Chain A
Amino acid sequence: MRSQRSILNNLRNPIAIAASIQERKRWEQFFIVLGWFSLLVALLTLVFLVGDLFLRGLPMLNWKFFTSPPSSDPEEAGILTAWVGSLLVILVTAVVAIPLGIAAGIYLEEYAPKNWLLDFIEVNITNLAGVPSIIYGLLALGFFVYILNWGESILTAGFTLALLILPVVIVTTRESLRAIPQGIREAAYAVGSSRWQVIADHVLPYSMGGILTGIIVGISRAIGETAPLITIGALTFITFLPDPPIQSEFPYISFKWIWSPFTVLPIQMFNWVSRPQEAFQVNAAAAGIVLLVLTLAVNGTAIYLRYRFRKSIKW
């Protein structure tokens, strides 16, 4: 019972009150320093990470690095096959994840009756968002590679990453649909639109900003993702490019490339980091710069878009 007595005594003693306030203020100052310190840790991580990457890798970054395939000689090695592979895999990912994610988001937000099934799907999506990416790799290895027999191809990789980023796309689609005021839907219904017309002509176009942000965040995650692609058996050393998608003779467009083996930027970087030779660490750093600039640029676009759309909403 220290407290009640001493508080009562303190209340009668203005000097003690002042001292107590002083003490609490000091604690608060101390905490502010602590807060700055923990934010500084985050900040310093960023500075050291980016700084080290650039100091080590920048001399390696030249035109040749982008246009030569990997090689056992670190001076000759480049990221040509890696960035082409990344580009094609992300293309497949986008083609699969964007329509599927938006459609699922629309159904859950606009169509689904509020019942146990909706609850179940919702909990399920939350859980999928928390499943480690390497589990998606195991799913792809067991299902796409061996049951569907797609092999270790760009198609498999694209589908794997699409499933991985699907929860992100669905959740942001739902959030941006929810932000559209009910009045807009009612107005469209009032002039005789069907449900799909309301969505396709009004709700969807107005929420495109938010949906786009979600897609971009998902894509940036897919660009940096390594583990599930290693699991499906992406090659770490590949010196040839997949078939070009555009051909000189009829039918001009070829889809052979989706079946070809591939490597991607993060895997190329992982491959270089795990080699013992010092020279390959320089290559790893250079690949890291490319990867970092790419994902940060994509992420930055998302942050900017969100900022812009949040500002421009005037319902």
Chain B
Amino acid sequence: MVEQPLPYSTKLSVALPSRTVRIWRERIIASILFLAAISSVVTTLVIIYILFAETAIFFEKVMEVHQESLFEALVEFFTSTDWSPLIEPVGIGILPLLSGTFTTCFVASCVAIPLGTIAAIYLSEFAPAKARELLKPILEILAGIPTVVYGYFALLVVTPFLQKIILGVQQFFNPGKEPWEYYELPGFNMLGAGIVVGLMVLPYVTSLTEDALQAVPVELREGSYAMGATRLQTAIKVLMPAAASGIVAAYILGLARAIGETMIVAVAAGLQPKFTFNPLEGASTTTAFIVSVSLGDLPHGSLEYQSIFAAGIMLFFATLILNVLGYFFSRRYREVY
């Protein structure tokens, strides 16, 4: 029998690698990619390890200096209002840093939460599509400005402006004195810094809140309109409760950002740790303290070197808790519908 030539070539014009080579190549690539994915977990572990290890050394040193037990050192850390790890006698109470952080954060929330919520409702429910297309990039620009530029803004634009306003208010209610007899807002104060932190956080709060409102199914809106409700009534009585967990997540994530914000407070809020809740004063936040210490010559292994890790661990856990809460809330609003 004569073999008929096949009408097509059974040989490929390229040499393919064997099956084994192929499988092994795939395995190697997959493991490399896996290593890359695991790098984020490694980063977290290293952060936690470094913070804990250095903080442990911090407490060891404190116990040595103060001649006290670990328990006493911890009690002093959480209750004392004297934070001065750099000068003798060494004070290790974290409260002044926490009060500064809390106060600037509070001022920031007073700016970002109401304005952000109103802007989000407006953008989501009221604004014409064209206006929204125009305004969203502007918010994105605000979110992209380097924080050190915001710090400059807080120190050289907002604070002088606030000083004038506060002087003006006093002159209005209590006229007839010379200008220097009135209370003067110090150049470094938590009010100006907090307001600017709020302005910096505003775009995040707005866009996350808007996302949450947009995620509410359109039937809920239509149902409400069908009952004769106005857009405002729908937004406040139907959409806000429906999107509540998403909105809460937006607030919490904004708050976490405000706590972690460094350069604005380092430039404009002052660097002197002080136990006060008065935003008209200057004080140091946790982040600003870390910056101010790192700016000096920082000998490795000294108490001030260790102290920034002790401050950092507080900051890390505060933001971690807020982020986990925010994640939890934002998950919930996605699962409801």
Query: Nearest Cβ in chain B — how far from A219, in angstroms?
Result: 11
Interface of B toward A, CB cutoff 8 Å? 22, 25-26, 29-30, 32-34, 36-41, 43-44, 46-47, 50-51, 53-54, 114-116, 118-119, 121-123, 126-127, 135, 137-142, 144-153, 155-157, 199, 202-203, 206, 230-233, 253, 256-257, 259-263, 266-267, 287, 290-291, 294-295, 298, 300, 308-309, 312, 315-316, 319-320, 322-324, 326-327
Rounded to whole angstroms, the CA-CA distance of A31 and B127 in the bound complex is 12
Query: B50 touching A143 by the CB < 8 A rule?
Result: yes
Residues of chain A contacted by B39 (CB below 8 angstroms): 100, 104, 166
Query: A120 touching B41 by the CB < 8 A rule?
Result: yes
Q: List 26 A-B contacts (CB under 8 A).
A: A24-B233, A31-B122, A34-B122, A38-B115, A42-B139, A46-B142, A48-B153, A124-B40, A124-B41, A124-B44, A127-B320, A130-B260, A130-B326, A131-B316, A132-B316, A134-B290, A134-B291, A134-B312, A138-B290, A138-B312, A141-B294, A142-B50, A194-B26, A196-B30, A224-B146, A270-B267
Per-residue B-contact encoding for A109-128, CB less than 8 Å = 1, 0 else: 00110000000110111111
Instruction: Considering the complex, give the chain B residue whose CB is closest to the CB of A101.
Output: B36
Query: A299 touching B148 by the CB < 8 A rule?
Result: no
Residue A106 CB within 8 A of the other chain: yes
Residues of chain B contacted by A224 (CB below 8 angstroms): 144-149
Rounded to whole angstroms, the CA-CA distance of A92 and B294 in the bound complex is 23
Residues of chain A contacted by B127 (CB below 8 angstroms): 35
Residues of chain B contacted by A126 (CB below 8 angstroms): 323, 327
Residues of chain B contacted by A25 (CB below 8 angstroms): 230
Interface residues on A, range: 35 or more
Query: A139 touching B122 by the CB < 8 A rule?
Result: no
Query: A38 touching B157 by the CB < 8 A rule?
Result: no
Query: Nearest Cβ in chain A — how far from B104, in angstroms?
Result: 13
Residues of chain A contacted by B322 (CB below 8 angstroms): 130
Query: A132 touching B259 by the CB < 8 A rule?
Result: yes
Residue A179 CB within 8 A of the other chain: no
Instruction: Considering the complex, give the chain A residue whose CB is closest to the CB of B36.
Output: A103
Query: A48 touching B146 by the CB < 8 A rule?
Result: no
With A146-B300, A227-B291, A233-B294 as contacts: A108 and B37 at CB distance below 8 Å: yes
Residues of chain A contacted by B119 (CB below 8 angstroms): 35, 38-39, 42
* Contact residues, A190-238 vs B (CB, 8 A): 194-196, 220-221, 223-227, 230-233, 236
Residue A288 CB within 8 A of the other chain: yes
Residues of chain B contacted by A291 (CB below 8 angstroms): 146, 148-149
Residues of chain A contacted by B145 (CB below 8 angstroms): 49, 224, 292, 295-296
Query: A138 touching B122 by the CB < 8 A rule?
Result: no
Query: Nearest Cβ in chain A — how far from B29, in angstroms?
Result: 5
Interface of A is mostly: helix
Query: Nearest Cβ in chain B — how far from A273, in angstroms?
Result: 5
Query: Nearest Cβ in chain A — how far from B233, in angstroms?
Result: 7
Rounded to whole angstroms, the CA-CA distance of A45 and B138 in the bound complex is 11
Residues of chain B contacted by A137 (CB below 8 angstroms): 290, 294
Interface of B is mostly: helix
With A100-B36, A134-B287 as contacts: A39 and B144 at CB distance below 8 Å: no
Query: A42 touching B203 by the CB < 8 A rule?
Result: yes
Query: B44 touching A104 by the CB < 8 A rule?
Result: no
Rounded to whole angstroms, the CA-CA distance of A53 and B154 in the bound complex is 12
Rounded to whole angstroms, the CA-CA distance of A38 and B151 in the bound complex is 21
Rounded to whole angstroms, the CA-CA distance of A227 and B266 in the bound complex is 9
Per-residue B-contact encoding for A241-268, CB less than 8 Å = 1, 0 else: 0000000000000000000000000100
Interface of A toward B, CB cutoff 8 Å? 24-25, 27-28, 31-32, 34-39, 41-43, 45-46, 48-49, 52-53, 56, 99-101, 103-104, 106-108, 111-112, 120-121, 123-128, 130-139, 141-143, 146, 163, 166-167, 170, 194-196, 220-221, 223-227, 230-233, 236, 266, 269-270, 273-274, 281, 284-285, 288, 291-292, 295-296, 299, 303
Query: B149 touching A230 by the CB < 8 A rule?
Result: no
Rounded to whole angstroms, the CA-CA distance of A104 and B40 in the bound complex is 9
Query: B47 touching A131 by the CB < 8 A rule?
Result: yes
Residues of chain A contacted by B46 (CB below 8 angstroms): 139, 143
Query: A226 touching B147 by the CB < 8 A rule?
Result: yes
Rounded to whole angstroms, the CA-CA distance of A127 and B259 in the bound complex is 15
Residues of chain A contacted by B116 (CB below 8 angstroms): 38
Instruction: Considering the complex, give the chain B residue whose CB is closest to the CB of A145.
Output: B300
Residues of chain A contacted by B232 (CB below 8 angstroms): 24, 27-28, 31
Residues of chain A contacted by B51 (CB below 8 angstroms): 135, 138, 142
Rounded to whole angstroms, the CA-CA distance of A27 and B230 in the bound complex is 10
Rounded to whole angstroms, the CA-CA distance of A194 and B19 in the bound complex is 11
Rounded to whole angstroms, the CA-CA distance of A101 and B336 in the bound complex is 32
Instruction: Considering the complex, give the chain A residue whose CB is closest to the CB of B136.
Output: A303
Indicate which residue in B122, B147, B151, B262 contacts A35 across the interface (CB closer than 8 Å): B122
Query: A167 touching B40 by the CB < 8 A rule?
Result: yes
Query: B152 touching A53 by the CB < 8 A rule?
Result: yes
Instruction: Considering the complex, give the chain A residue whose CB is closest to the CB of B206.
Output: A42
Instruction: Considering the complex, give the chain B residue whose CB is closest to the CB of A140.
Output: B50
Query: B44 touching A42 by the CB < 8 A rule?
Result: no
Query: Nearest Cβ in chain B — how far from A116, in angstroms?
Result: 13
Query: A107 touching B146 by the CB < 8 A rule?
Result: no
Query: Nearest Cβ in chain B — how far from A165, in angstroms?
Result: 12
Residues of chain B contacted by A45 (CB below 8 angstroms): 142, 153, 199
Query: Nearest Cβ in chain B — how far from A107, in angstroms?
Result: 4
Query: A127 touching B327 by the CB < 8 A rule?
Result: yes
Residues of chain A contacted by B202 (CB below 8 angstroms): 41-42
